[in-house]
Amino acid sequence: MINKIVFIFTWLIISVSQHNIAQNSRNVIDVQIDTIKYRLNKLNQKTTFEIYCNDEVIEIINRHLERRIKYYNNRKEKFVYYLEMFEKHLKENKIPLEIKYLPIVESMLDPKAVSRAGATGLWQFMFYTGLKNGLRNNSYVDERIDPVKSTMAACRYLTKLYEIYPDWNLALASYNAGPGNVRKAIRNSGGKSDYWEIRPFLPKETANYIPKFIATMYLIEYAKEYGVDFSRKHNSFSKIGRLAVKEKISLKHVADFLKFPLDSIRFLNPSYTHEIIPFQEDKKNYLTLPKEEIRKLLSNENNFYSYSKEEFNNSAKKLPEFYTRNSRIKYKVKYGDYLGKIAKKFGVKISDIKKWNKLDGDYIKENQRLIVYPKKIPRN
C-alpha cells in the first residue's frame, strides 16, 4: 500500500513538472514570437519595403535563428567586408540600402557559388543577364564572380527592374523570376499590383523569395541581440584599392613578391579562373589589394613585372589558352574525355564537334586537337 502511495505521489510530481516545463516552453516561444513581431513592425516603419509580419516570415526566422546566426558569426569578417561594399554602391545608385541583404539570400555571400541552373557569383547572374549588364566572361575572367563589378551590374539591373515595376518588392520578385513571370502573375491575379496579393500566382521559389529576404534582413539587423557583432572593427580590408595591370600576372607572384598572404589575395580577387590576371589591350583587368600593399607594389613596379615575367618563363607549366565565347579554339583531348563530355563542357552539340573536325564516328584519342567554338566558358 505504501509503495502504491509513493508511486502515485512520484507520478503526480513528474506530471506537474512536465506540465510546467511545457508551459514555460510555450511562454518562451510566445515571448520570442511577440519580440519578432515587434521588431518586424519597427523595421517596417523605417524601410521602403512593405514588410508583412505573417506566420511564414516568423517561421523562417525561427527556423534559421540558431543555424544561420552561428554561420554568420563564423564568417562575420567576410560579411562586414561585403555588406559595406554593397552599401557604398547601392547608395551611389540611390537604391534602398536594405538590398545589401539580397546576396545573402542569393549566395550566402559566396562569390564562387553556382546554382544548378548556372547562375553564378554573389548576385547569381545567369550568363546572358550578366552579359547584358556589362559582365565579361572568358577563359581567364568571369566577372560575375568579381564582387565589385557584379555589384555594379546588380545595381544597373535592379534600377531597370524598378523602372518596370516601381515597387521594390515587385522589383526583387522580377530579379528572381524575371519581369515576364511577374507580369503573368499580375495578369492572373486580375490586375493587382501588390506583391503579397499576386504572390499565390508567382512561381514557388519567387513566392518564398521575399519572405526569405525579410527574414534575412531581420536576422542581420538584430544580429547583435543574438550575440553577433557586425561592427566595422571586424572589417580586415576596410581600405582597399584596385590597380589596373600592365602585363599578365599571377596572384601567387603578387603574394611572393609582397610577402602578403595568398589566401587574402584570392579572397579579394576571386574572378580570375586560373589565378592569373591577363593583360588585354582593349579592356582593363584589376588587381584588388589593401591600399598599403598597392603603394608597395607601385613603388617597385618595374621590379615586380620583371619578377613576374621571369617566374612565368621559368615555369614548366603551360599557360591555359585565352578565348572568349564563340571564338575558335583548339582543345587538347585529355585522358577520360569523350565527345559527350567535351560537348557538355563547352555548351555545344556532339554533332557540331563532329562537323567542325570532319569526324565520321565518335572515336577520339588522348592529345588529339579538336576545333571547338565554345558557347559557354568552363570554370576550369
Write phi, then psi, for 306 (nearest 5 degrees). -65, -45
The DSSP secondary structure of 246-300, one letter per residue, reads: SS-EEHHHHHHHHT--HHHHHHH-TTBTTSEE--BTTB--EEEEEHHHHHHHHHT
Cβ within 8 Å of residue 297, ≥6 positions away = 243, 254, 257, 258, 287, 289, 304
| Cα–Cα distance, 140 to 157 (Å, whole number) | 24
Of the chain, the end-to-end C-alpha distance in Å amounts to 80
**Number of neighbours of residue 90 by Cβ within 10 angstroms:** 20
Catalytic residue among 106, 143, 275, 293: 106
Is residue 306 within a helix (H) or strand (E), and if so which, with residue range?
helix 301-314
Residues 6+ apart with CB under 8 A from 96: 47, 48, 49, 90, 168
CA–CA gap between residue 142 and residue 379 (Å, rounded): 8
- Identify whether the C-beta of residue 195 lies closer than 8 Å to the C-beta of residue 173: yes
CA–CA separation, 49 and 259 (whole Å): 46
**Cell 502573375 appears where?**
185
Q: Is 106 a catalytic residue?
A: yes
- Contact of 123 with 134, CB cutoff 8 Å: no
Residues serving a catalytic function are: 106
